[in-house]
Copies of this chain bind each other. A is one copy, B any other.
């Protein structure tokens, strides 16, 4: 199913755990070996390791394996931690529901827009930015915002350094023109994209700023032009800005939790 040619021991360990956790009944070594196409002795060794650490354990009276105590304890912690940090996703989901379109959060890294989280509302129709994917700077709203907030000289340098690949008829491939657009973007504080990356898909984005007004990330929406025209995009800006406000409070913010602080530091 998911094994790339070169699995490290870690991958195999997690594959085994995942398999055991997804079974409804205790799994034998042979089951596991077969499911993950491992040599039998190897499976034994790996499972033995996991058992020693309490991540798996034998079901009493059998040689079949179920999830172990350590693993359950750890998982409970993970779920708790995830719940505490899930507010970002909650905000994203809320704004996506409000405007009824796919929303995503993206950051710029290595001169490329990387999407870190996204929520799609209904059927995958518009552009699907899946977390982990990357897109160019010059034809995405997030990229424009990022560039627009650079000091002028750095901005110009970057514009000239980038390869302004043409993806559609409306992609901006002229440096002067791009600079103009960026200046405009800087002034009004948000960006739009008119089928510049994918034909038939328009979008807009607003910045998510830290308390000291540094750019942390961008919150954007992508939608098929058949459903929302380029000019109609404007009505998304206000809700997006509200959500971005909330996100900037939420995102970094020392997630003051403290739920019983369990283990905590000694």
Number of copies: 2
- Chain A 74-85: CB-based contact to B (< 8 A → 1; otherwise 0): 111111111111
CB-based nearest B residue for A256: B59
CB-based nearest B residue for A257: B24
Q: Which of B97, B110, B117, B262 contacts A60 (CB 8 A)?
A: B117
Residues of B close to A157: CB separation below 8 A: 87, 249-250
Interface residue ranges of A245-260 to B (CB < 8 Å) = 246, 249-260
Question: How would you classify the secondary structure of chain A's contact residues: helix, strand, loop or mixed?
Answer: mixed
The answer, yes or no, to whether A240 is at the interface (CB within 8 Å) is: no
* A64 pairs with B213, CB closer than 8 A: no
Interface residue ranges of A209-266 to B (CB < 8 Å) = 210, 212-217, 246, 249-266
- Chain A 169-200: CB-based contact to B (< 8 A → 1; otherwise 0): 00000000000000000000000000000000
Known A-B contacts A85-B66, A87-B158, A162-B94; the reply to A24 vs B263 at CB < 8 A is: yes
Please indicate which of the listed interface residues A1, A14, A21, A76 has the most CB atoms of chain B within 10 Å of its own CB.
Answer: A76
* B107 pairs with A79, CB closer than 8 A: yes
Residues of B close to A165: CB separation below 8 A: 97
- Distance in angstroms between the alpha carbons of A165 and B17 in the assembled complex: 36
The answer, yes or no, to whether A150 is at the interface (CB within 8 Å) is: yes
- Distance in angstroms between the alpha carbons of A73 and B22 in the assembled complex: 11
- Chain A 128-146: CB-based contact to B (< 8 A → 1; otherwise 0): 0001000000000000001
Query: Which A residues fall within an 8 A CB radius of B?
Result: 1, 8-11, 13-14, 17-18, 20-26, 49, 53, 55, 57-62, 64, 66-67, 69-91, 93-94, 97-98, 105, 107-111, 116-117, 131, 146, 149-151, 153-154, 157-158, 160-163, 165, 208, 210, 212-217, 246, 249-266
Q: Can you name 10 A-B pairs with beta carbons within 8 Å?
A: A18-B77, A22-B77, A24-B255, A25-B258, A60-B256, A66-B81, A74-B75, A84-B150, A86-B111, A149-B259
